[in-house]
Amino acid sequence: MSKVAIVGAGAVGMTYANTLVAGDFVDEIAIIDLNKEKTQANAWDLLHAVPYLSTSTKKITSADYADCHDADIVVITANARAATFDGDLDRLKLLEANVSMIKSITQSVMASGFNGIFLVASNPVDVISQVIAEVSGLPNNQIIGTGTLLETARLRDMIAEELDVDPKNIHGYVLGEHGSSSFAAWSNMMIGSLPLTTWLKKHPQSKLADFDYFDNRVRDIGFEIFTGKGNTSYGIASVLARLTIAITRNEKAILPVSTYLEGQYGITDTYIGTVAVIDHTGVREVFELDLNALEQESYLKSAEILKENFESIKDKL
């Protein structure tokens, strides 16, 4: 039996819940939000979908923090009402507004006796993940941010569209901050088993040769989605579901998540998007890639930005 508690009944949290139900990925879902009428309505609505899905019977409830005590995973999707971009499309701008709320949520979850895995989607996700690690006192491997999983999906889709192939056959990762300093590790990108750099030698006129274009496109498209519909929900919900499956099924999957680095890539004491092995314990280990000099430089710059932002709010924890 697997149980997930979701904190935040907004577009991300409820799209994730629907993904879990439709995919038959967990047995129990507890929905936590300040708006109890909304959580109860969502619980009923999700339960009413089950009879027409190829899925097992579910327990879906409007819950309180006390219900986290036996959860395998607590997923944080909440954002403070004051956490708005205010015309500046930079996820780090949400930090000041979100940090006190995230601290309170974490304390409430831990007061239940929770000892499972935190999955974090609230932005800025790298710094918020480190806040949760600091406040919860849990081992770092039990706090996982969604990191650059969504950027990686976006890049795979863009490359696949250029080549007219299945994005599942594009292999590689975006690393760094979930934000404006992210970068693709182009030196590790593969089309099937063929290195992209090798393919480009035969197709030098391809649009894929313009790495800067795709790096910028990956960074910008999330804000275009946000501007167009008021949120991003389907992609990030699928990211959370993918992590949930990796944990509950002990997949030992290699995925780019936000986790704590302790010297890898020359980065210390920082949560940042990196490639890691995910199993039932959370982050089993960091899977360190060979990066070229430019990628390594980009990684260090991204880490410095995140470290500075965490230090700016550390006294509030």
* Coil, helix or strand at residue 32: strand
pLDDT in tens, 211-230: 999 999 999 999 899 889 98
E strand residue ranges, the chain = 3-7, 28-32, 59-62, 73-76, 117-120, 143-145, 170-171, 174-175, 183-184, 190-191, 194-195, 253-262, 268-279, 282-286
pLDDT, position 58: 96
> What's the chain's average pLDDT?
95
Q: How far apart are CA 81 and CA 151, in angstroms?
A: 25
Q: So where are the chain's domains?
A: 3-145, 149-316
Residue 69 is among the residues annotated as catalytic for this protein: no
All residues at 6 or more sequence positions from 309 whose CB lies less than 8 Å from its CB, including other chains:
92, 95, 124, 127
Q: pLDDT tens for residues 77-134?
A: 998 664 454 555 555 667 877 898 999 999 999 999 999 999 999 999 999 999 999 9
Contact 107, 63 (CB under 8 A): no
From 45, 131, 111, select the one nearest 315 (Cα to Cα).
Answer: 131
Which residues have a Cβ under 8 Å from the Cβ of 22 and sit 6 or more positions away?
49, 53, 55
CATH class, 3-145 region: alpha beta
Query: How many CB atoms lie under 10 A from the CB of residue 299?
Result: 26
C-alpha–C-alpha distance, residues 86 and 9, integer Å: 22
Domain boundaries 149-316, CATH class: alpha beta
Tell me the pLDDT tens digit for each residue of 133-180.
Answer: 999 999 999 999 999 999 999 999 999 999 999 999 999 999 999 999
Mean pLDDT of 244-259: 98
Of 48, 171, 178, 203, the catalytic one is: 178
pLDDT at 87: 54
Residue 210 reports pLDDT greater than 80: yes
More confident residue, 52 or 88: 52
Beta pairing partners, 283: 278
Give pLDDT, residue 95: 81
| Cβ neighbours of residue 173 closer than 8 Å, sequence gap 6 or more | 148, 152, 184, 185, 188, 256, 275, 289
Cα 51 to chain centroid distance, Å, stands at 30
Share of the chain above pLDDT 90, in %: 91
